[in-house]
Amino acid sequence: MPVHRSPFERLREKFDESELRCQSCGYVDTDGKWRVTTSGGRVRYRFVCPVCDAVETRELQLE
Ligand SMILES: [Zn+2]
């Protein structure tokens, strides 16, 4: 049975594959994952650097 994937799931996959790099200290978390929250048509991605506690965020608007 084919699996239907929503735009959100495709976006999430793209982010899951992207590098988690802290903009503040340059640390790359190879085992880390974005934390995902959704509200309305928006998807927020959040990553807290384990080294310096800087917070990286991305926000996407779903069509
Ligand atoms: Zn950092």
| 41 burial level (CB within 10 Å; 0-12, 13-18, 19+) | exposed
pLDDT digits (tens, 9 = 90+) for 29-41: 988 888 889 988 8
Domain ranges of the chain: 33-63
Cα of 25 vs centre of ligand 1, distance in Å, is 4
Cα of 23 vs centre of ligand 1, distance in Å, is 7
For residue 1, the model assigns a pLDDT of 61
Reply yes or no on whether the pLDDT at 53 is more than 80: yes
> Whole-angstrom Cα distance, residue 15 to residue 39?
18
Cα–Cα–Cα angle for 19, 21, 23, rounded to 5 degrees: 145
Cα of 10 vs centre of ligand 1, distance in Å, is 27
Which amino acid is located at 44 in the chain?
R
